[in-house]
Structure 1
């Protein structure tokens, strides 16, 4: 072997992306941009057709957003709503996952708790807004509890579905190798259930945004729901549009961050989101 060939073989191989990967990424970005531009164009046409009294134009909405941001109203509303959503959603995740794992693994507990899960999950959180305010007051607790109520059943049901979908052959194989209940849970059940948990977490996040508006309309002075309701009282359609659009952007960002974190942290579980 010559020195040149030895040096060439000693050089580390450079990992290259597939030729079509960059083109596919650029295509996705381009489609996203086209979609946004088309949506804004349709919005502008609707505003021109129905007038600013019914539909605020993109320009009016941007001006209203600047106005609300200048006096701190928009920033305070975003922070307040985000805090309530993250706390309530996080509590729902912290309770829903272990309860779902337990119900999925232990038939007795599943039969014991299933009637309550099936009963309460069909009652919308907005039905409990008045009771939450009466029992917990107009402070943060009532909003957080309502969001927790929204999230916990979704996460629990998705976790149960993940546990029950585990291949029976894998469970028997682990048991035949002498694995105990905890080892089976950690090595077989949990890896198979993680994708269902992530899906439940994403669905619960979306429903948390639905709940925060009704909760803040009834019992909050600060928040995006309160901003939308106050705007309605003052007849400021442009403020209403600001609140709605910011809610959508915030939800998009939260979901995207959740997907990125899940894909990286839970990479070994082959989570695809």
Structure 2
């Protein structure tokens, strides 16, 4: 909501200065972000449209061909089917990661012995690329959604687990002492003290996990499934529809950017409560 000059004048000078600085700084950040995106689009146009001959292979990925294909795909129903299925797989993978990462993170963060015993193993597993598990996942779960869920959950569990454990270790010990002095049960302490105290850390881990799963999703959907954005990428390649391929890359980037923006907004809102 915009403020009139009279309303601004009624604000105390210190608050007015802060208000003006906040809005000016926010406008500068927004303009800088838009400028960066425009510069990226110009670089794409130069490298695929201006600096290369029209008959070159790079021209097939130019914005002059990809943007019309993008408009056609967005207005059609076929691409939305792939988008919704990919989002469903991401949500299920994140759900499994939360079910595993939060309880294990609470346990590791609360027990120094458990932290010492599990940290080397967790760090070892975390540094293994989820994509290296693809052949094993297919052999173990078969072709279909099951190996994709496994790979997405494996990729997403580590930021959630490690951030949850860090949140437990950073809890104010006075809160736990107060809970104990009030004769709270373990479940009451968990529900009223520990979980609210680590919520921001869990959400930070979840935001990181969203970005990781969205990146891992596309190669995971090349495991023999018949739908999804990864499958659609392969389909456009096989059909030599390079304009649609580049348009799908744009769709993947836009959705990933939107997911991260929503997660960042939720984290900022909950952190300010």
- Per the alignment, residue 51 of structure 2 pairs with 49
Residue pairs, 1:54-73, within 5 angstroms: 54-55=58-59, 56-69=61-74, 71-73=76-78
Q: Is the 8 A contact 1:95 1:152 kept in 2?
A: yes
CA distance in 2, matches of 1:165, 1:202: 19
Give the corresponding residue for 2:159.
154
Task: Extract unaligned runs of 5+ from structure 2.
Answer: 1-9
Deviations 1:241-261 (A, max 9, x none): 222221111111111112222
Answer whether contact 2:151 2:220 (CA < 8 A) is retained. Answer: yes
Q: Distance in 2 between matches of 1:122 and 1:25?
A: 37
1:23 aligns with 2:24: yes
Question: Residues 154 and 22 from structure 1, CA distance in 2 versus in 1: closer, same or farther, beyond 3 angstroms?
Answer: closer
Q: Secondary structure at the match of 1:263?
A: helix
Which residue in the other structure is 2:253 paired with?
248
Whole-Å separation in 1 of the counterparts to 2:137 and 2:27: 48
Using structure 1 for the length normalisation, give the TM-score: 0.79
Task: Give the 3-state SS of the residue equivalent to 2:221 in structure 1.
Answer: helix
Q: CA deviation at 1:71?
A: 4.8
Tell me what 2:38 maps to.
37
Quote how far apart the aligned CAs of 1:43 are: 1.2
2:111 to 98, 106, 109: 106
Gaps of 5+ in 1: 1-12, 269-273
8 Å CA contact retained: 1:89, 1:204:
yes
Query: Which residue number in structure 1 is paired with residue 225 of structure 2?
Result: 220
Q: Distance in 1 between the 2:44 and 2:120 partners?
A: 46
SS at the partner of 1:219?
coil
Cα distance between partner residues in 1 of 2:111 and 2:202: 18
Q: Secondary structure at the match of 2:267?
A: helix
**Separation in 2 of the partners of 1:60 and 1:208?**
29
Mark the CA change 1:74 to 1:50 in structure 2 (over 3 Å): closer, same or farther.
farther
**TM-fit CA distance, 1:161:** 1.9
Check the 8 A contact 2:82/2:229 in 1, yes or no: yes
Q: Is the 1:212–1:225 contact (alpha carbons within 8 Å) kept by the matching residues of 2? A: yes
Three-state SS of the structure 2 residue aligned to 1:138 is coil
Residue 206, structure 1, aligned to residue 214, structure 2: no
1:117 is matched with which residue?
122
Cα 1:71/1:19, change in 2 over 3 Å: closer
Instruction: Write out per-residue CA displacement over residues 72-124 of structure 1, whole angstroms, 9 at most, x where no aligned residue.
Output: 33212211111111111122123211210111113344455445423422222
Equivalent runs, 1:161-240 vs 2, <5 Å:
161-168=166-173, 171=176, 181-182=186-187, 185-186=190-191, 188-240=193-245
Answer whether contact 2:152 2:216 (CA < 8 A) is retained: yes
- TM-score using structure 2 length: 0.79
